[in-house]
Amino acid sequence: MGQKILVVEDNELNLRLFCDLLRAHGYAAEPVRDGREAVARARAFAPDLVVMDIQMPHVTGLELIEQMKADPELMATPIMAVTAYAAKGDEERIRDAGAEGYVSKPISVVKFVEAVGTLLKIAAARQAEAAAPVPTEAEEVAESEGPETREAAEPEGQAAPEEPQTGTPDEAPGGAPI
């Protein structure tokens, strides 16, 4: 199976639809029906993405997003909110809570799968960036200096000798007329 996606959704039909759709596209989907289990299941499953319903009993998706973004183990995991309540300002509140993506119900299958793919690419790029070796201070200084800066920084007497001048003052070096 491919990348792992935790799906937090209290509606059984939506949960099945999302998981089946994700599995059909090669993802490993893990269903969570009760939001109260979402954070613990996310820690155990270590998903590459969380698909989060917003309107759930007991705990809202907004509260879960905030909890996951405050958790050191989960804070880097992208979250895509899915909600039927797409009132003015909802998307802003959801993104302010920490969700990186937002899809309104009823979902468009194509848009849903595209949004999942986009968030997973962003997450993979973040992980690659975080895993890249951090240059040492000396490497950073060397990279920031251009060749002319390095030459100027060489100790006196260490620079390459200049080519001898040939020709007359009316000629360029090498004897070409000016």
pLDDT score of 18 more than 90: yes
**Mean per-residue pLDDT, 16-27:** 97
Residue 8 pairs in a beta bridge with: 32, 52
Topology at the third CATH level for domain 4-131 = Rossmann fold (3.40.50)
Q: Give the position of tokens 């909802």.
A: 90
**Backbone φ and ψ of 22, nearest 5°:** -65, -45
- Is the pTM value of this prediction over 0.75? no
Token pair belonging to 132: 């890249």
Amino acid type, 26: G
pLDDT score of 149 more than 50: no
Taking all residues of the chain, what is their mean pLDDT, rounded to a whole number?
83
